[in-house]
Amino acid sequence: MLHSDGNSSSIPDLSIDAIDYCTFGNSKPFRIKIRNILNDNFTYFYVKKADASRVYGLEFEHMLSPHNINFLTNNTTLIEEHIAGIPGDVFIKEFLPKCTAAEKAQIAKEYVKFIERCMIRLLGDMRAYNYVVIPIHDFDHVIYKIRAIDFDQQCFEGRFSVYRPQFFKENFPLMTVIREKLSHDSISQYKIEERSTVSRRLINSGNRIEYLIEIMKGDVLSLEENLERLKNEIYIFTKDAAFKESKSMGDLMQAAFDYTRRNYENVSLSDLL
């Protein structure tokens, strides 16, 4: 169902090669390795506990990021496809020091956009091991993309800093690269580009994002004290009264998206550097 839309004709050619139990994180997922016995190609998927934050996070990832993602839910079970890439902590330790000056500048650009995207959609806890770096080989160079892989902190925490990856100590090496390779004007330009891109995705998503937000407004995604703290901190950051008046995390997301559409050119550099 995840990969073939329910077509079962290939099932006789598939083998379950491994089932790994992951002891880290709050969902303690199973990682399943599926191999095609005809050609030895294989893929992974994950079986996790389906919590509201993670499902909303996956939906926003699919609609508002540059990447599509497949997942299924059934009662309290979530089936999530594997996202290929180099774990951020591994990349920072083993690959980043070997990158050329031009590659570091390109990585800095992508990371600025990644930070902005996480903040706009309130995706939290993007420490280095919760995203991957994806090298893409062009005809004469390598470009890098950055993609979130864990979505369980969508709209839960009350501290605004949790939704801003630059404040996690694990990400400091990438912040150092940004300071070394990008000017203030470049940072401003890339943030404007990302806000503009997210704004277009919001418009192009049509009724789907509106329908999701309406469901979200009636859902309980966090503790009341987390909502109160987060909406007040964002209000201080933006001076937009819609955040302060939010009654739920769904209202807060609505205010964030409305603010992005109205104000994506209103960029402050002090929140990044």
> DSSP strand E in the chain: where?
14-21, 30-36, 42-49, 71-74, 77-81, 86-87, 131-137, 142-148
Tokens of 216: 């979200």
Question: Strands 30-36 and 42-49: what pairing?
Answer: antiparallel
pLDDT per position in the chain (273 positions), as tens? 888 877 888 888 899 999 999 887 677 899 999 999 999 999 999 999 888 889 999 999 999 998 889 999 999 999 999 999 999 999 999 999 999 999 999 999 999 999 999 999 999 999 999 999 999 988 888 899 999 999 989 999 999 999 999 999 999 999 999 999 999 999 999 999 999 999 889 888 878 999 999 999 999 999 999 999 999 999 999 899 999 999 999 999 999 999 888 765 454 434 444
Q: What is the pLDDT of residues 39-57, one digit of tens each?
A: 999 999 999 988 888 999 9
The answer to whether the beta carbons of residues 230 and 157 sit under 8 Å apart is: yes
For 100-124, give one letter per residue: b (16+ CB within 10 A) or e: eeebbbbbbbbbbbbbbbbbbbbbb
Strand partners, 154: 123
Rounded Cα distance between 206 and 46, Å, is 30
Residue corresponding to tokens 């939906």:
59
Q: What is the pLDDT of residues 17-29, one digit of tens each?
A: 999 998 876 778 9
Measure CA of the first residue to CA of the last residue in the chain; give whole Å.
45
Strand partners, 14: 36
